[in-house]
A and B are shown apart, each in its own frame.
Chain A
Amino acid sequence: MGMRMKTDLSGKVALLAGPRDHNLEGAGAALMAEGAGIVLAETLEEVRYAVERQPRIDIAVVNAGWRKAGDFLALTNDDWADALYANFEVPVFMMQAIARKMIAGKQGGRIIVLAGIEGMLPFSGQSATGTSLTMIWSIARMAAIDLAPHGITVNIVAPGWTNQSAFSALPGETQAHILAGIPAGRAGSGQDVGAAVLMFATPAAGYLTGVILPVDGGYVLSRSDGRSMLER
């Protein structure tokens, strides 16, 4: 159709909070391409500083990007403490600081949380990562309720296999196994994540809140690896 949705975010300030990875970079690129000014803040202290210093924050992307694979019996309580701190405590207080700023600004706002699909369904070897990610997306949905009267929406983007360089580095057999579980038949990218983040940031998305949107090519739809048992 050649039609393109017009999304002008010029004049808006977008805060990118949390560890800078392919997903957060994809979000930043998408928001910047539509004219938003970008502020980077990796730690909670940096978020608090940015919130104090910036005259306004319209959009915030909060990345819960900590990951560690390991069998439950091999993970230590230090691993658990890291997971719960990085993927839950820090993003909770980032969101709180950002929300207070948006409330004071009286212009509403958009908060988008990045929390991987390991928090949407269980995986062997992902107990600490998955538990902490479920915690952050579920509390973000309760924040959505409390912040709605202030015109602030809170949504969650759940990236699947979007780390392209990590995916490319996997052995071919592993890649094939993973791809068989992705209905779309390909790994995703930070760009795919950015498109979803941008959607939640647009003025047209003001009635969407508390949504968890997997950006995963259909990976969470089924436990199957994509082939029926009859085809084997």
Chain B
Amino acid sequence: MKLVGKTALVTGAASERSIGWGIARELALEGADVAVNDIAPSEALDARAEELAAMGRRSLAVSADVTRPERVEAMFAEVVQALGHIDIVVSNAGIIRWQHFLDITPEELRAVVNVNIMGTVNVCRAAATHMIRQGNGGRIIINSSVQSDVQFPITPVYGATKKAMHTLVGALALELAPHRINVTHIAPGWVRSPLNDISPELQTPEGVEAQRRVIPLRRDGHIDEMGRAVVYLASSDGDYVTGSSIRLDGGLAISKYSL
């Protein structure tokens, strides 16, 4: 086990089909104590914390809207009080909207930017502040998207917020390196998480098949596969990795045409 004695917080982890939960579970399987967050208290979030406890880990369900900095700060205080310290922070919460460029409304743009950028900024600021104070380094890992590498015109605002993770993660990695805080991101492709439930392209069996055919490995990614990459980045295996990303997309980004 690679993460015994480490503590982690994963945002956006209430749904059992979420990438956040896949990450939380894999971290716990490696021995980490894990706090799981989502926007509001729910039976699902409590159930996730109970599953982690059943694995023999200390765990915590902490609800907070990541777009509200004061709530994020209170969440970190609660996690540190319960688990003693915070070593690994995974900023996973994100939202998506589908629309073409000419149809973007200010409301949609602000909603996506607020969660995907400001939510990430709030979580990263709190994480860095705590880790610097602790003086033991740390890991900040952001869940971006395959759209950090290749974007799609049907999700222009979402894609912009994800492309920008290269720049944000890079700047954070540069600034936090003296504190031995490594900052990285993972870039998942098609995962059947709640985020993709309302994708207009995935509402019919034909749409799902078309999606499969554009992916060289011919399948969706699984949440535990996303979690394994985070374990690598969070553990000593990833000691020398900062400012970079791991794309986990079955080859989607390199594939121009359906095969």
Indicate, yes or no, whether A interacts with B.
Answer: yes
Residues of A within 8 A of B (CB): 71-73, 77, 80-81, 84, 88-89, 92-93, 95-96, 99-100, 118-119, 121-127, 130-136, 138-139, 141-143, 145-147
Residues of A within 8 A of B156 (CB): 139, 142-143
Q: How many residues of B contact A (CB 8 A)?
A: 39
Quick check: B168 and A127 within 8 Å, CB to CB?
Answer: yes
Residues of A within 8 A of B100 (CB): 146
Q: A-side binding surface: helix, strand, loop or mixed?
A: helix
Quick check: A77 and B167 within 8 Å, CB to CB?
Answer: no
Quick check: B153 and A142 within 8 Å, CB to CB?
Answer: yes
- Partner of A130 from B101, B125, B167 at Cβ < 8 Å: B167
Residues of B within 8 A of A95 (CB): 101
Q: A73-B128, A77-B121, A80-B118 are in contact. Are A138 and B164 (CB under 8 A)?
A: yes
In the assembled complex, B138 has its CB within 8 A of some CB on chain A: no
Q: A126-B171, A136-B160 are in contact. Are A145 and B121 (CB under 8 A)?
A: no
Quick check: B171 and A145 within 8 Å, CB to CB?
Answer: no
> Please, what's the 1-or-0 string for B97-141, where 1 marks a CB less than 8 Å from any CB in chain A?
000111010100110010001100110110011000000000000
Residues of B within 8 A of A89 (CB): 106, 109-110, 113
Quick check: B174 and A80 within 8 Å, CB to CB?
Answer: no
Closest partner residue, chain A, to B162 (CB atom)? A138
Quick check: B243 and A134 within 8 Å, CB to CB?
Answer: no
Residues of A within 8 A of B173 (CB): 122
Residues of B within 8 A of A80 (CB): 117-118, 121
Could you pull out 23 A-B pairs where Cβ atoms are within 8 angstroms? Answer: A72-B128, A73-B129, A77-B118, A80-B121, A81-B118, A88-B160, A93-B106, A96-B102, A99-B102, A121-B170, A122-B168, A122-B174, A124-B174, A131-B167, A134-B160, A134-B167, A135-B113, A135-B163, A136-B160, A138-B163, A138-B164, A142-B159, A143-B101
* Assembly CA distance A133 to B167 (angstroms): 9
Question: Given known contacts A72-B175, A132-B164, what 10 new A-B pairs fall within 8 Å (CB)?
Answer: A72-B124, A73-B125, A77-B69, A99-B102, A121-B167, A130-B171, A134-B164, A134-B166, A135-B117, A139-B101
- Partner of A84 from B117, B151, B167 at Cβ < 8 Å: B117
Residues of A within 8 A of B157 (CB): 139
